[in-house]
């Protein structure tokens, strides 16, 4: 799948989304305006607004979209980037998407303040919806709750070192898939979809979002240098993700407890990271993670099979395979 091809398919609707994002961020404060422009110049794949547009088109028969669909797509991208700006502070990240973070360039206070600006800009887009406003506001508000809860649960589990697969799935739903869900469900609502279509879209987006994050977590063990972060970062942040959980499935209880202890002590012993990476390789943790990734990919494909046959629906299927197979 080619991202530029998706944008070309969305045509004028994509042009409107891009323009709305830029208009929402415009400020007469030169420093804020130039900072926002810098962030926009490294805007990544923009999967969430594209997901919104494709869902709206799939539910409405590939038609030209109403303005509320454009607002939803723009809001999804604004909110996503707000969370990244905040995450970079929480994780003390120096690099994202292969570029220095705002946190590293201008400090955590600026990153938080700019993140807040993007967050408010996102909610202003939803607040200005002409139709279905209360439902759309409720969806995005619920997502903000999930995002905060996911971050705190991840912190709690990092401190305790006792993350199980159910904990991990709740964390990645809250931190990643919940925004996919909001982007897609709000898009379906914006074109007045049936309850059956709304539910199909919701299930699709949740499965897609979980698959996306599992793939991202696999990168941390893969040695892939094109993803914008070095191998082993999750371990150094005491995050127990699907590859390590998979390795635990193929190990003894004593081996698991030993590795969990090493993760909990990683700040004092960063040299443990290499041993943990070797453990995951020896215990086939990557293979387990790939299998679980496949489960969610299949779930996503099953969900969108309940939508009408449209070109946008075909692109949603291609997006699913892209998420599963991407290398960055």
CATH classification of the domain holding 307: 1.10.600.10
Q: Are 272 and 200 in contact (CB under 8 A)?
A: no
Q: Report yes or no on 91 lying in a domain.
A: yes
In this predicted model, what pLDDT tens digit does every residue of 5-59 receive, in sequence order? Answer: 899 999 999 999 999 999 999 999 999 999 999 999 998 889 999 999 999 999 9
> For position 230, what pLDDT does the model report?
60
Alpha helices, DSSP H only, in the chain? 3-10, 12-25, 30-40, 47-60, 67-90, 102-106, 108-127, 133-160, 165-172, 178-190, 195-222, 233-236, 242-249, 253-264, 272-282, 285-304, 311-325
Whole-angstrom CA distances from 144 to 83, 90, 120, 147 are: 9, 16, 12, 5
Can you give the C-alpha Rg of the chain in angstroms? Answer: 20
The CA distances from residue 294 to 128, 227, 291, in Å, are: 38, 21, 5
Angle (deg, nearest 10), helices 47-60 and 12-25 = 130
Cα separation of 310 and 316, whole Å?
10
Average pLDDT score over residue span 186-196: 97
Phi and psi at 57, nearest 5°, equal -70, -40
Residue 193 within a domain: yes
- Asked if the structure places residue 42 within a domain, the reply is yes
pLDDT at 225: 46
Please tell me the distance from the alpha carbon of residue 252 to that of residue 258, in angstroms, as a whole number: 10
Does a structural domain hold residue 294? Answer: yes
- pLDDT value of residue 227: 47
Percent of the chain exceeding pLDDT 90 equals 86
Total domains in the chain come to: 1
Let me know if residue 232 belongs to a domain. Answer: yes
Helix (H, G, I), strand (E, B) or coil at 11: coil
For residues 194-204, average pLDDT: 97
pLDDT at residue 66 greater than cutoff 90: yes
Provide the pLDDT for residue 223: 66
Q: Is 328 inside a domain boundary?
A: no
> Which of 298, 304, 297 has the alpha carbon at shortest distance from 196?
304
Mean pLDDT for the stretch of residues 191-198: 96
Using the CB atoms, write b or e for 114-146: b if 16+ within 10 Å: bbebbbebbbebbeebeebeeebeebbeebbeb
- Mean pLDDT of all residues in 108-128: 96
Q: pLDDT digit string (tens) for 149-179? A: 999 999 999 989 999 999 999 999 999 999 9
**pLDDT at residue number 326:** 85
What is the average pLDDT score of the chain?
93
Q: How much is the pLDDT for 113? A: 97
Residue 229 domain boundaries? 3-323
């Amino acid at each position: 799948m080619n991202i530029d091809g998706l944008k070309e398919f969305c045509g004028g609707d994509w042009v409107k989304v891009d323009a709305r994002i830029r208009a929402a961020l415009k400020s007469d404060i030169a420093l804020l305006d130039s900072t926002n422009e810098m962030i926009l110049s490294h805007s990544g794949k923009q999967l969430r607004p594209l997901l919104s547009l494709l869902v709206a088109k799939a539910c409405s028969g590939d038609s030209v979209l109403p303005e509320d669909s454009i607002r939803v797509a723009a809001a999804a991208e604004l909110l996503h980037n707000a969370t990244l700006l905040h995450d970079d502070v929480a994780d003390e990240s120096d690099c994202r998407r292969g570029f220095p973070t705002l946190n590293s360039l201008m400090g955590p206070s600026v990153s938080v303040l700019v993140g807040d600006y993007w967050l408010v800009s996102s909610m202003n887009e939803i607040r200005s919806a002409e139709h279905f406003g209360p439902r759309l506001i409720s969806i995005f508000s619920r997502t903000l709750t999930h995002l905060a809860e996911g971050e705190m649960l991840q912190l709690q589990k990092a401190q305790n070192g006792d993350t199980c697969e159910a904990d991990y799935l709740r964390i990645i739903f809250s931190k990643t898939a919940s925004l996919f869900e909001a982007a897609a469900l709000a898009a379906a609502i914006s074109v007045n979809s049936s309850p059956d279509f709304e539910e199909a879209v919701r299930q699709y987006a949740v499965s897609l979002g979980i698959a996306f994050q599992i793939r991202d977590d696999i990168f941390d063990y893969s040695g892939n240098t094109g993803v914008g972060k070095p191998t082993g970062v999750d371990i150094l942040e005491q995050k127990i993700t699907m590859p390590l959980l998979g390795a635990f499935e193929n190990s003894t209880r004593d081996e698991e407890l030993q590795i969990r202890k090493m993760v909990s002590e990683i700040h004092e012993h960063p040299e443990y990271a290499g041993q943990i990476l070797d453990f995951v390789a020896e215990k086939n943790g990557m293979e387990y993670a790939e299998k679980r990734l496949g489960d969610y990919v299949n779930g996503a494909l099953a969900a969108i099979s309940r939508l009408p046959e449209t070109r946008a629906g075909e692109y949603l299927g291609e997006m699913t395979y892209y998420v599963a197979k991407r290398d960055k």
